Amino acid sequence: MHEIGVDPYGAKIMLPKAATFLIRINAVNNIAANILKQEMLSLGAEAAVTRGALTGKTKKTDILLIGQLAQYSALVNKLKIQPFGLQKLAADLDGNIKNFIKDDFSVSLRKGSLNLGKKTQIMGVINLTPDSFSGDGLYRNFSNNYPDLALKKAQSLIADGADLIDLGGQSSRPGAKDLSIKEELSRTTPIVKLLAKKFKVPISIDTTKPEVAQAALDAGAQIINDISGLRDKRMIKVAARYKSAVIIMHMLGRPVNMQKIIRYDSLIDDIAMYLKKAIDTAQSGGVAAEKIIIDPGIGFGKTPAHNLEIIKHLEAFKILGKPIMIGPSRKSFIAKVLGSDSQSRTYGTLAACVMAAQRGANIVRVHDVAEVSQSLKIVEAVRKC
């Protein structure tokens, strides 16, 4: 429209007519479904329902709505005066569409804010463990110059393009056993304190233990990265008290058993519902809405096929209205696809990060920051051209 000289006001009016969405709504009663279908047809749009909903053989049906953004706006206004639960559906539909088309987020931190949307941010990983699956744990040899190693690692990551640093003292590899609180504190707190004094880049603490998170926040961390999705209600209290940003991740079970029983009714729906409940619980516990980031949890209770499906449909999680982080870095599904060992997972990681960025990832959590940074610069250049 800009290239052919359309008036800006006219372009604003016409743009919603250019955006088409397919929206699936599950388990709608037949009366409401038939009203919804008629309303969509009256707007020149479409709604697909099960055959039984039209013949009366079923009591409920899933619905696939097919329409333009302008038509959905008109539909929402029509449904606001309808009975049979359609008023609530209108509110949900309106909220989900607004969430889905939202691109820019500002996550408030105790010091400044994290602006997400203009480009995909990179979270660089520092594993303060001896048993990291990726083989980069700085604590492996319990070296006397362990803090120096962490400092040099952070300097390198930031120089390579890291926008955030994520520190973790507890391995989350499949089968990993829990550390004691004392041990995890000894690995993480001194390093958080050291790096917070040296760098302005926001520091995230990767932990499921409220005690470790609190100590890290006291030492200068600004984000809690909880792979258990804030299941421990004490973690919510810590985040609320410190006004910390949080990353809520999806995981089946715990690292010690997450790969033993993997079962989903509908992978994307199940993960989205889990995250939605966790978001609601966090917000009701005092965590501000603008401080929440979500992570679908690549590799945490998923098969290789599940991990690929998550990347393919990552955009679906935008309906939750939160910035999305994803961590495909050096995960075993990459080796499964490539048929190669852990030393050659970098190229697969780059491909996964590029595809995730194209599908709405606001943050990628990676080990190979320099390589990912270069790859994402190409993504940003293509977006801007």
Give catalytic residue positions: 331, 365
Amino acid at site 69: L
DSSP conformation letters of 120-187: -EEEEEEE--S--TTS--TTTT--TTHHHHHHHHHHHHHHHT-SEEEEESS--STTPPPPPHHHHHHH
Q: How far is CA 62 from the centre of its chain?
A: 26
Please give the sequence-ordered ranges of beta strands (E in DSSP) within the chain, or none if there are none.
20-29, 46-49, 60-68, 105-108, 113-116, 121-127, 164-168, 203-206, 223-226, 245-249, 292-295, 325-326, 363-366
Q: Which residues sit opposite 103 in a β-bridge?
A: none
**3-state percent breakdown (helix, strand, coil) of the chain, nearest 5:** 50, 15, 35
Location of structure tokens 């029509």: 78
CB 332 within 8 A of CB 303: no
Which residues are registered as beta bridge partners of 160?
Answer: none
Amino acid at 238: V
Say if CB 230 and CB 236 are below 8 A apart.
yes
In angstroms, the CA 74 to CA 43 distance is 8
* Size (the chain), residues: 385
Q: How many CB atoms lie within 10 A of CB 339?
A: 7
